[in-house]
Homo-oligomer: A and B are copies of this chain.
């Protein structure tokens, strides 16, 4: 007899009514009423528990079962009974219960509310709580929705490299990747570390973005996307930054900034709709216990147009509220999270694309506008988070791009292959990057990035 998932029992309850099934799962609560008992069993297939009723005389080992602790793994064989009058729609009346693995009174997840800070110290067990089981189920559904969105539109999924010898952003703080023996470093004639002896024959790092590589493939496939881990060695300890996080980076040939924003907006709406369809119980939990109003807000976002405003207009709007900000806004400044959130939360009350930023605060590969001062960039800001997407039309003109690289003190020869794309069949193209964890935070209302990553990596933390 094979196992039936709790999700399948709820989904097919009418068909399974009166039928015998076998379920494997873990005890969330157990109550011994002397001659019969109740178990709330969770198998992780859905948010909901399955109520198991076991009675002395019906199961052979009543005492053994009644004595189990929270966290024990059980295999229950029994009959599905619909209970339309009860709180829960059905229960499983056990004919046999087998203990697969016991637990103990020291089990760290007793039936009480634990702080998220404490739960971060037991990351191997926290997925067994309501909060984290919902978070990681939504994370998985969101990831699949993203693949679905792009694949259905003919985008080719590209695994851009994780280890890289170039620094895409020309700036980011990067992790070094090495096989050199640090206790015995090879040296060149002049005493410097000899990276020629390293694994790749040169200095190598963890990628901060797959974009430049993705452009190689957009110039062959038209529409491509990446979905992979990226890294920042920033010594910052905020709720929104992790050293290792996942990014989605679509890149589209024959597409301008408007087309880029259209795809970004459609993608966010698709993710929201799919997650609400596929994880209703998880979303209701977040709506009730984490962020009241979440579902209404997401529904509103999924069905309304995002605002679009130029950086110059946004600065004019924000300057009127400079008394509210720690950092005063003026043209030329980089928008801080406080400004981004004010714009999306207070002024527009919905997601907003801010476009055409001053070139000085944006990356070298963004397309220079006709005004010579701004670039065709576009950041998408959402309530509660701030920036969730950064995108731009890419500079497709060889001469302009080379000039920009030199202006920034970088060497064109380091970008020979990226420049080649502008030598052979260059075209209008654009792309963006979605920070996946920020999207999951937006979907769940969870406010700390450490609580949406399976095992977060931050300054001083690489446990588990």
Contact = CB atoms under 8 A, between A and B. Distances in A.
A26 to B, nearest CB: 5
Interface in A349-390: none
Contacts of A163: 175, 231, 243-244, 457, 462
A206 interface: yes
Interface stretch (A194-202, A294-302, A322-330, A333-341): A194-202
Interface stretch (A54-62, A78-86, A133-141, A399-407): A133-141
A91 interface: no
A143 interface: yes
Interface in A163-179: 163-165, 173, 175-179
A454 B459 CA distance: 31
Contact of A72 (B154, B202, B229, B425): B425
Interface of A: 3, 5, 7, 24-27, 43-45, 71-73, 75, 100-104, 107-108, 122-125, 127-128, 132-133, 136-137, 139-140, 143-144, 147, 151, 154, 156-165, 173, 175-180, 182-183, 185, 192-193, 199-202, 204, 206, 213, 216-217, 219-223, 228-229, 231, 233, 235, 243-244, 246, 253-254, 396, 417-418, 420-428, 453-455, 457, 459-464
A457 B124 CA distance: 32
Contacts of A5: 154, 222
A206 B164 CA distance: 14
A200 B154 contact: no
A250 to B, nearest CB: 13
Nearest to A216: B124
B156 A136 contact: yes
Question: Which of A26, A122, A183, A233 gathers most chain B CB within 10 Å?
Answer: A26
Contacts of A122: 417
Nearest to A220: B127
Q: What 9 A-B pairs come out closest when comparing CB atoms?
A: A101-B426, A24-B254, A44-B221, A127-B220, A200-B462, A73-B425, A100-B427, A73-B427, A124-B417
A457 B49 CA distance: 46
A455 B159 CA distance: 9
Contacts of A201: 460-462
Contact of A125 (B72, B151, B179, B420): B420
B24 A222 contact: yes
Contacts of A461: 200-201
Contact of A179 (B128, B176, B183, B464): B176
A133 B221 contact: yes
Nearest to A152: B144
Contacts of A417: 122-124, 464
B202 A462 contact: yes
Nearest to A68: B425
B216 A457 contact: no
Nearest to A158: B454
A49 to B, nearest CB: 13
Contact of A177 (B133, B175, B200): B175
Given A100-B428, A101-B422, A200-B462, 8 more contacts: A26-B220, A124-B420, A144-B151, A147-B147, A159-B453, A177-B206, A201-B461, A417-B464
A230 to B, nearest CB: 10
A221 B424 contact: no
30 contacts: A7-B154, A24-B222, A43-B222, A73-B425, A103-B423, A108-B424, A122-B417, A124-B417, A124-B421, A125-B216, A127-B220, A136-B221, A140-B156, A143-B147, A144-B151, A158-B454, A161-B455, A163-B243, A165-B463, A175-B199, A176-B180, A182-B182, A199-B233, A199-B235, A199-B459, A199-B460, A200-B457, A200-B459, A200-B460, A216-B464
Nearest to A225: B140
Contacts of A173: 179
A144 B133 CA distance: 24
Contact of A462 (B43, B165, B460): B165
Nearest to A217: B127
Contacts of A228: 228-229
A424 B136 contact: no
A209 to B, nearest CB: 14
Contact of A243 (B125, B199, B254, B420): B199
